[in-house]
Chains A and B, each alone.
Chain A
């Protein structure tokens, strides 16, 4: 039940885009076609689903104050938490490299259409944000971290696919010239975020 709660919460209530604005850069840049946005969304789910659990283990057995106790009792006072950012970003960068190689090998068409944005997942704030929020929430079990990563990724996918679908339609509308493109994308996202407010307070 607890896991389901984390899952639903991370998709709808604490949505990466609508509640925390994480990963906005690629969200705005790759959301012109539904097909590419689905590809990027799946890649984000995949990377989040891998990196959050790995960083959870890293945090639990290496970075937390007193985390090195399992190695030797005398290390119980060591606090390596200042290394958090560097360790997390290193894990993320190497995982993204792996995903990139994987996609290049098995889905060349997708690789071509994602272009520069695949390596940029490494600097997608949603990925590092997922790990940092995971650390802040203080999960006690690996499965919780995994479900949280997966849920956040799915929430991100939902948001980018929604925006892409709307932008495909809006190409035929008469938007005021200064608002065209970026401006209207921001306002649409804002309106969708208001829609997502309806999920607030849901608890299972």
Chain B
């Protein structure tokens, strides 16, 4: 069903063209929600939904948008979708939406959404744009979930709030690293992910 090119559009952003580590888009609101896995997963899904559907909508009306006011049009589309996601979360996952607080709203100004609209949806067909949106959302979510995994595991010794580090460890002097819960460690974790990724894919290394 999916041709080779479509598969590329969908899978490319996961690693080789990852929005966070390669395109440097959408780091803004992302890292603050990575203290625990649960909010990170919800955030990743929200961004995927917003990105996929805003790409489709903009792609559908791309020939009718006057160039000069396209930023405003894009913002209105994104903001409406984010309001829907926000209300949905408040209705069905109230606790998580409380934890995410302002960061759901900040999806609007997440550069990755605007970036993909500008770079892809403005001159591609709706179905391809949808795949591009879902792919980029997934690539973004992947980094978010990796960061959250390490921060929750080493910071609180849990995953999805379930204890995974056995009591035996604690009895022999193991301690949770409270430092992982600090914002600083999210940045350093991303730095390390970039390091690992670029060591594995030397083509991505920046020339100075």
A interface residues (Cβ-Cβ under 8 A, vs B): 18-25, 28-29, 82, 84-86, 89-90, 93, 119-120, 122-129, 132-133, 136, 171, 176-187, 189-191, 193-194, 197
**Interface of chain B, main secondary structure:** helix
Q: What 5 A-B pairs are tightest by C-beta distance, nearest first?
A: A186-B191, A181-B206, A178-B198, A193-B184, A125-B28
Which A residues are in CB contact (< 8 Å) with B187? Answer: 21, 186-187, 189-190, 193
Which A residues are in CB contact (< 8 Å) with B25? Answer: 25
Which A residues are in CB contact (< 8 Å) with B190? Answer: 186
Is the CB of B108 closer than 8 A to any CB of chain A?
yes
Cα–Cα distance between A125 and B29 once the two chains are bound (Å): 7
Q: List 12 A-B contacts (CB under 8 A).
A: A18-B184, A85-B105, A85-B108, A86-B83, A93-B71, A124-B28, A125-B109, A129-B109, A179-B194, A182-B24, A182-B206, A183-B191
When the two chains form their complex, are residues A123 and B109 in contact, meaning their CB atoms are under 8 A apart? Answer: yes
When the two chains form their complex, are residues B195 and A125 in contact, meaning their CB atoms are under 8 A apart? Answer: no
Which B residues are in CB contact (< 8 Å) with A132? Answer: 102, 105-106
When the two chains form their complex, are residues A93 and B83 in contact, meaning their CB atoms are under 8 A apart? Answer: no
When the two chains form their complex, are residues B188 and A190 in contact, meaning their CB atoms are under 8 A apart? Answer: yes
Q: Could you mark each residue 1-35 of chain B with 1 if its beta carbon is under 8 Å from any beta carbon of chain A, else 0?
A: 00000000000000000000100111111111000
Which range holds the interface residue count of chain B? 35 or more
Contacts beyond the supplied A21-B187, A85-B79, A193-B184: 6 A-B pairs with Cβ under 8 Å: A21-B28, A124-B109, A179-B198, A190-B191, A193-B187, A194-B184
When the two chains form their complex, are residues A197 and B184 in contact, meaning their CB atoms are under 8 A apart? Answer: yes
Cα–Cα distance between A64 and B29 once the two chains are bound (Å): 24
| A123 in contact with B186 given A25-B25, A182-B21 (CB within 8 Å) | no
When the two chains form their complex, are residues A22 and B194 in contact, meaning their CB atoms are under 8 A apart? Answer: no
Q: Which residue of B lies closest to A181 (CB)?
A: B206
Is the CB of B128 closer than 8 A to any CB of chain A?
no
Cα–Cα distance between A184 and B29 once the two chains are bound (Å): 20
Q: Which residue of A lies closest to B33 (CB)?
A: A21
| A122 in contact with B71 given A180-B206, A181-B206 (CB within 8 Å) | yes
| A182 in contact with B109 given A85-B79, A86-B76 (CB within 8 Å) | no
Interface of chain B residues 167 through 208 with chain A (CB within 8 A)? 182-188, 190-192, 194-195, 197-199, 202, 204-206, 208
Is the CB of B72 closer than 8 A to any CB of chain A?
yes
Which B residues are in CB contact (< 8 Å) with A197? Answer: 182, 184
Is the CB of B101 closer than 8 A to any CB of chain A?
yes
Interface of chain B residues 31 through 76 with chain A (CB within 8 A)? 31-32, 71-72, 75-76
Cα–Cα distance between A181 and B101 once the two chains are bound (Å): 32
Which A residues are in CB contact (< 8 Å) with B30? Answer: 21
When the two chains form their complex, are residues A28 and B105 in contact, meaning their CB atoms are under 8 A apart? Answer: no
